[in-house]
């Protein structure tokens, strides 16, 4: 069975989606809205697409129209009846206008919650939802938001980007003092300065360590803040690493931290939870679907460094057995509600139902 995927061809989540489909008998053609290198198209050292084609040739809103032309030509060339666009204002929009008979789109988070921050994205996102047969979302809150965007008329179903719970699992951990892991990048939307300020407040008293992603170009202020707060020696800035090495990183932590103001179902957070690590997470609706305060972790007021520091103290005061119990509940929540194979089988059923109705 043929399928066309449209989105960021270099995204690990798109590549995992394609890899599962190919292992289950699909012929996957990838139309990319980004400009990846050849190595970025690989997963575990192998190509995960049967063919690849760039659809968007340059940045900008006007180029979307040229992208639609490229997409329609690509769909016709490969005789694709079914396409699935990831991220509503780009891959989802192209899928909607692709000319394919059957269209599925996926919302990922910022394309729903931050769609008004960039001109035209709200219209692009609504167009994607209203022009598709199905919209996949990662949480019940996103389902509600997308339902509002479609005036309640569309098939919107909860199918999160799944977690490979066999890869992301608990490993033996050595606790050398409380270790916190910021599971997101250092982009401003993830409030890294709030994490640093809270950590600076608790570090001397707790002797804790913070693992944080290496800042990208333009985010070097992270280093300056750490030096100014005299916590540089207590922070390990970890570099990018192969996907299959991420469980090793997660399992070094006693507690993960993810505190954006808005979010979809964070894959990084769920991967961490799948490794049996409790979370400190912002008390936004989507996080409350995964974490009950005091059960799978603790919830913190959005962008409140003092509340975050208080919750970090709370985690430091927990004993090993208590942290392990919270982590076990966190993993069970992911296994029951976001397992990759389970969620992909749901998507597979929808794909086949659409095509079989021809």
Beta bridge partners of 180: 210, 255
pLDDT tens sequence across 7-25: 999 999 999 999 999 999 9
Tell me what pLDDT residue 294 has. Answer: 94
pTM over 0.75: yes
Mean pLDDT of 65-70: 85
Cα–Cα distances in Å, from 112 out to 87, 126, 184? Answer: 9, 9, 19
The proportion of the chain whose per-residue pLDDT surpasses 70, expressed as a percent, equals: 97
- Return d(Cα 64, Cα 56) in angstroms, integer: 7
What's the distance, CA 18 to chain centroid?
A: 16
Shared fold status for 2-161+339-356 and 179-337: yes
Band (pLDDT 50/70/90 cuts) for residue 45 is confident
Helix (H, G, I), strand (E, B) or coil at 122: helix
Band (pLDDT 50/70/90 cuts) for residue 32 is very high
Calculate the average pLDDT of the chain.
Answer: 92
Copy the structure tokens of residue 174. Answer: 């050595």
Contacts of 233 (CB under 8 A, 6+ apart): none
Residues 16 and 166 sit within 8 Å (Cβ to Cβ): no
- Return d(Cα 6, Cα 26) in angstroms, integer: 15
Cα–Cα distances in Å, from 348 out to 18, 51, 344? Answer: 12, 20, 6
Band (pLDDT 50/70/90 cuts) for residue 344 is very high
Tell me what pLDDT residue 60 has. Answer: 64
Q: Is the pLDDT of residue 149 over 80?
A: yes
Tell me what pLDDT residue 59 has. Answer: 62
Q: Is the pLDDT of residue 27 over 70?
A: yes
Q: Where are the domains of the chain?
A: 2-161+339-356, 179-337
Mean pLDDT of 166-172: 91
256 phi and psi, to 5 degrees? -95, 160
- Return d(Cα 342, Cα 338) in angstroms, integer: 7
Mean pLDDT of 274-298: 96
Q: Is the pLDDT of residue 58 over 70?
A: no
Residues 195 and 308 sit within 8 Å (Cβ to Cβ): yes
Band (pLDDT 50/70/90 cuts) for residue 176 is low
Cα–Cα distances in Å, from 144 out to 41, 154, 160? Answer: 33, 11, 14
The architecture in CATH of the region 179-337 reads 3-Layer(aba) Sandwich (3.40)
Band (pLDDT 50/70/90 cuts) for residue 143 is very high
Tell me what pLDDT residue 61 has. Answer: 64
Determine what percent of the chain falls in helix, strand and coil, rounding each to the nearest 5. 45, 20, 35
H helices of 24-155, where?
A: 63-78, 93-96, 110-113, 121-130, 140-149
Q: How many residues does the chain have?
A: 358
Band (pLDDT 50/70/90 cuts) for residue 334 is very high
**Better pLDDT: 55 or 26:** 26
If you search the block for the tokens 């479609």, which residue do you land on? 150
- C-alpha neighbours within 13 Å on the C-beta side of residue 21: 27
Mean pLDDT of 289-297: 96
Within 10 Å of residue 239's Cβ, how many Cβ atoms? 6
Residues 248 and 260 sit within 8 Å (Cβ to Cβ): no
- Return d(Cα 344, Cα 325) in angstroms, integer: 29
Mean pLDDT of 333-358: 94
- Return d(Cα 153, Cα 156) in angstroms, integer: 9
Mean pLDDT of 188-196: 95
- Return d(Cα 53, Cα 65) in angstroms, integer: 17
Helix (H, G, I), strand (E, B) or coil at 338: coil
Mean pLDDT of 186-200: 95
pLDDT tens sequence across 214-270: 999 888 899 999 999 999 999 999 999 999 999 999 999 999 999 999 888 899 999
For the domain spanning 2-161+339-356, the CATH number is 3.40.50.2000
């Amino acid at each position: 069975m043929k399928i066309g995927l449209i989105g960021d061809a270099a995204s690990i989540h798109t590549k995992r989606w394609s890899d599962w489909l190919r292992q289950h008998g699909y012929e996957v053609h990838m139309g990319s809205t980004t400009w990846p290198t050849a190595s970025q198209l690989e997963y575990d050292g192998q190509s995960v697409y049967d063919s690849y084609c760039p659809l968007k040739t340059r940045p900008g809103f006007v180029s979307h129209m040229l992208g639609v032309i490229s997409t329609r030509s690509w769909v016709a060339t490969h005789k694709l009846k079914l396409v699935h666009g990831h991220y509503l204002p780009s891959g989802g929009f192209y899928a909607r206008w692709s000319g394919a008979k059957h269209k599925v789109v996926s919302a990922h988070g910022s394309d729903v919650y931050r769609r008004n921050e960039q001109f035209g994205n709200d219209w692009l996102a609504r167009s994607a939802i209203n022009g598709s047969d199905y919209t996949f979302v990662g949480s019940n809150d996103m389902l509600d938001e997308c339902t509002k965007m479609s005036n309640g008329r569309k098939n919107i179903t909860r199918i999160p980007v799944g977690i490979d719970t066999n890869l992301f699992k608990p490993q033996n951990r050595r606790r050398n003092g409380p270790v916190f892991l910021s599971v997101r990048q250092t982009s401003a939307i993830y409030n890294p300065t709030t994490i640093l300020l809270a950590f600076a407040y608790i570090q001397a008293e707790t002797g804790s360590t913070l693992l944080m992603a290496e800042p990208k170009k333009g985010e070097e202020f992270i280093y300056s803040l750490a030096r100014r707060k005299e916590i540089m020696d207590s922070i390990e800035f970890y570099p990018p690493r192969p996907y299959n090495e991420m469980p090793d990183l997660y399992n070094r932590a006693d507690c993960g931290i993810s505190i954006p103001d808005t979010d979809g179902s964070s894959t990084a957070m769920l991967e961490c939870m799948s490794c049996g690590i409790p979370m400190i997470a912002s008390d936004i609706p989507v996080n409350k679907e995964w974490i009950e305060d005091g059960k799978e972790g603790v919830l913190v007021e959005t962008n409140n460094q003092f509340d975050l520091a208080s919750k970090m103290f709370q985690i430091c005061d927990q004993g090993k057995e208590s942290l392990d119990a919270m982590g076990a509940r966190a993993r069970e929540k992911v296994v029951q509600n976001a397992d990759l194979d389970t969620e992909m089988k749901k998507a597979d059923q929808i794909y086949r139902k659409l095509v079989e109705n021809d």
